[in-house]
Structure 1
């Protein structure tokens, strides 16, 4: 499922994102119902998407969480399209805007720290990965995150044109890596079988049906014969299920290769 941001009324969406107009007054009601406000509605929507996914998102479902009707929400947020923009931008406020490694001049350590923060951010909010980057939200927190990355990349000394393309390289890489982690976490619950059960059943069937598999696909078979990649460092790594460990290790190694490429580009320009 892919959804596109920026489908609501441009003036109204941007006004809400940047809080450019005075918001409607927060309203309470009889009983213990929470007071309504733009922030309360967005927080409830984010919690809903985090717990149940993007398919569960609707004005009615958010209203139910707040003990209100969908109609009561429209005074604050015109519709689902504008709500999605607000949700997307709001969660980006979680990302740090400064990294100590950058202050010491270690651009590689700073970018490594940044990438780790962004990966965990996406894993916490997997629904964000369903929002296409083809059309940005243009909100303050989204811009703050972008500004942070550009600042870190400028420390490499590479020209502006290259920095621009690196932004377009790193964000998709992080999104793809996070999607792999999110999928690894979801697979067993979504399919009803563990990864061990799934691989055991299909590996046995594949070997029976295609006994010459290794001869037909020697390069792929060679990867398995040479053994697993270097394990991901860190305490408690063994407690993480194997598919997620593999996804995280792939992210770590791939990021290292990308940073090696940045270093090579720097050296080539000196």
Structure 2
């Protein structure tokens, strides 16, 4: 389960910051112009989260990283909740977009899935953020517009287009969380999955009874031998994405069959 969520800060202030309106402009101060900016704070927050995780990101630690006092930081961003939304939108705005491998909608949507997976791989802390209340900033809106383009003109209505995109992105997020959990398990145990299974093989062989659970023993052994672990995130992503897209093929085909043809001319 995600331990953080977007949209947790003050909505009005968050939207002002996302769209860079009504930014604080310190006045009445003598001396050089301030070198700090909202953009610099966002970049610093992303870097800190990438290095230490989102739980480690605090306004005080970020202020130290930016060589300013915590109170100075608060004059630009009200708190961590608003900062997380700014960080998310900043990543969305800078997402790399690969060229699809084909010309059809399936190739376009596959590219969208790979783009989002790559974003999660570069910023592992994203898997711990729930975006049910997404940051409605320029980065997100541009991302949504671009990704909907993969489904435009293929016969789906607007609600179905949104649902299909949500379906694909939800799959990507679920595999990203599983991958992040596997990475955390390896880090905390100081063992690779293969090392963990090897160390626990004698115990597991006493627990798992092929006579009592023949399918579990056979299939589990085959999968473990194939992947060297209970989960291979790369295989899970590629296998699952193909099945997700196969499901959408059925939807698009069904919509095409229901689409009315041109009206018949009277004899």
TM-score category of the 2 structures, normalised to the smaller one: 0.7 to 0.9
Aligned residue for 1:215, secondary structure, equals coil
Which residue of structure 2 aligns with residue 108 of structure 1?
106
Which residue of structure 1 aligns with residue 37 of structure 2?
37
- Are residues 1:53 and 2:53 paired? yes
Out of 211, 223, 231, the residue aligned to residue 215 of structure 1 is: 211
Bigger mean CA offset, 49-58 vs 185-194 = 185-194
- Are residues 1:247 and 2:246 paired? no
Return 5+ residue gaps in structure 1 as ranges: 232-241
- Structure-1 separation of matches of 2:203 and 2:230: 24
Assess if the C-alpha contact under 8 Å between 1:101 and 1:107 holds in 2: no
Q: Which gives a bigger RCO, structure 1 or 2 (Cα 8 Å, sep 6+)?
A: 2
**Do the aligned partners of residues 226 and 9 (structure 1) sit closer, same or farther apart at CA in structure 2, a change above 3 Å counting?**
closer
**Post-superposition offset of 1:110:** 1.2
Return 5+ residue gaps in structure 2 as ranges: 258-267
Which residue of structure 2 aligns with residue 238 of structure 1?
none
Alpha-carbon displacement from aligned partner over 1:69-116 (angstroms, at most 9, x marks no partner)? 11111111111121111111111122246x6439x7411111111111
Assess if the C-alpha contact under 8 Å between 1:25 and 1:37 holds in 2: no
- Structure-1 separation of matches of 2:212 and 2:146: 48
Q: TM-score, normalised by structure 2?
A: 0.83
Aligned residue for 1:108, secondary structure, equals helix
Q: TM-score, normalised by structure 1?
A: 0.83
- Structure-2 separation of matches of 1:173 and 1:64: 37
**Do the aligned partners of residues 244 and 227 (structure 1) sit closer, same or farther apart at CA in structure 2, a change above 3 Å counting?**
closer
**Post-superposition offset of 1:5:** 1.8
Which residue of structure 2 aligns with residue 266 of structure 1?
252
Which residue of structure 2 aligns with residue 2 of structure 1?
3
Count the aligned residue pairs.
Answer: 253
Alpha-carbon displacement from aligned partner over 1:190-229 (angstroms, at most 9, x marks no partner)? 222232221112232021234x2x2333332232455679
Aligned residue for 1:153, secondary structure, equals coil
Q: How does 1:125-144 map to 2 (within 5 A)?
A: 125-144=123-142
